[in-house]
Structure 1
Amino acid sequence: MNHKLALPVSDGLVLVGCSKEKAATRRALAAFDLYDGGCIPAMRDRLGYWPHRDRVRFLSAEHGLVHADTPLHTYDRPLDPHRAVELRPRVAAALSAEFEATGMPDEILVVAEPLYLVLLADLLAHPTRPRIHWIPDHTSGWPAAARVLDTWGW
């Protein structure tokens, strides 16, 4: 890790697209523990502890923007273009409220397939948006995401 350029935890945010693969459970689990596909297991190993875990959000085809510790039940809802447009205002409002309460992060790492960017269109168009690192390959993009986290000192 490159700690010389360490980004304070409060100054970074990780946004991850949800995954079809989920833990087999009948009870609600924290989102970070429920999602089990793509890069999420590797990300959970690296960022699954406070305070980093507190800076992870999921872009859910069912729920919109979800904090890593939000309890969720297993669901099966793929993101399609209609649903992405439908969720966009909800995600924009949630991010706006969060940034108003805690401040705009300096950098955001987005690990999500291209369709998930529709949910983030308002953030991407914001005139004072933070630096955004986008890893479009949720399945095999972990090495690229890990390199970004290395530069953050996370």
Structure 2
Amino acid sequence: MNVAAERPVGGLVIVGCSRRKIVTSRPVPAFDLYQGWCIPLLRNRIGPAVSERQRVLIFSARYGLIRADELVSTYEQPMTLGRASALRAPVRRALARHLKAYPTREALVLLEQRYLDVMGLPGTPVVHAINNPVAHFAEAHRILDSWSWP
């Protein structure tokens, strides 16, 4: 067995947005906009690591599935089940495009179960889903460690 072929290539993290955001008059990277949920924990873990930030997607109530470094503006849009359902098709298309650009074997999904149900599982061979990542971020750390993320 070729061990190198079995190792994950890069990994993918999908994280839910948060109600708490910085207030700004100009667009900022999405990863910097959100101040709640588990995004600060993830941001502190990854820091400015460009290659890892390219592999982080945020499920945003306003913008759908966006890259961590995509520029966005402050907004108020609750993530309701209705809104999540409306985003289903565009989110799935965005996920497919991302996986084509950044192929990977594993995904770490940090979403409440109801939003994961709407979005669907990423098309990767291995999916790690943590429905309460604030309480269980040690498990996320373990997975990121296995990917050799900072």
TM-score w.r.t. the length of structure 1 is 0.83
Structure 2 gaps of 5+ residues are 1-5
Q: Percent identity?
A: 41
State the partner residue of 2:96. 96
Q: Of the two structures, which has the highest relative contact order with CA contacts closer than 8 Å and spacing of 6 or more?
A: 1
Does 1:146 find its partner at 2:146? no
After superposition, give the CA deviation of every residue in 1:26-76 in whole Å (9 maximum; x if it has no partner).
Answer: 221100110111221121111132111111010011111000111111112
TM-score w.r.t. the length of structure 2 is 0.85
> Relative to 1, partners in 2 of residues 1:102 and 1:41: Cα closer, same or farther, differing over 3 Å?
closer
Q: CA deviation at 1:8?
A: 3.8
Q: Could you say which structure has the higher helix fraction?
A: 1
State the partner residue of 1:52. 52
State the partner residue of 1:19. 18
Counterpart mapping for 1:26-105 below 5 A: 26-48=25-47, 49-103=49-103, 105=104
Aligned to 1:15, the other structure's residue is in SS state: strand
Aligned residues: 143
> Relative to 1, partners in 2 of residues 1:118 and 1:65: Cα closer, same or farther, differing over 3 Å?
same
State the partner residue of 2:3. none
Q: CA deviation at 1:6?
A: 6.6
Does 1:135 find its partner at 2:130? yes
RMSD: 1.9
Answer yes or no: is the 8 Å Cα contact 1:39–1:140 preserved in 2. no
After superposition, give the CA deviation of every residue in 1:116-154 in whole Å (9 maximum; x if it has no partner).
Answer: 213422x45x5xx32000110143232221111122221
Aligned amino acid, residue 23 of structure 2 = A
Rounded to whole Å, the distance in 1 between the matches of 2:118 and 2:67 is: 15
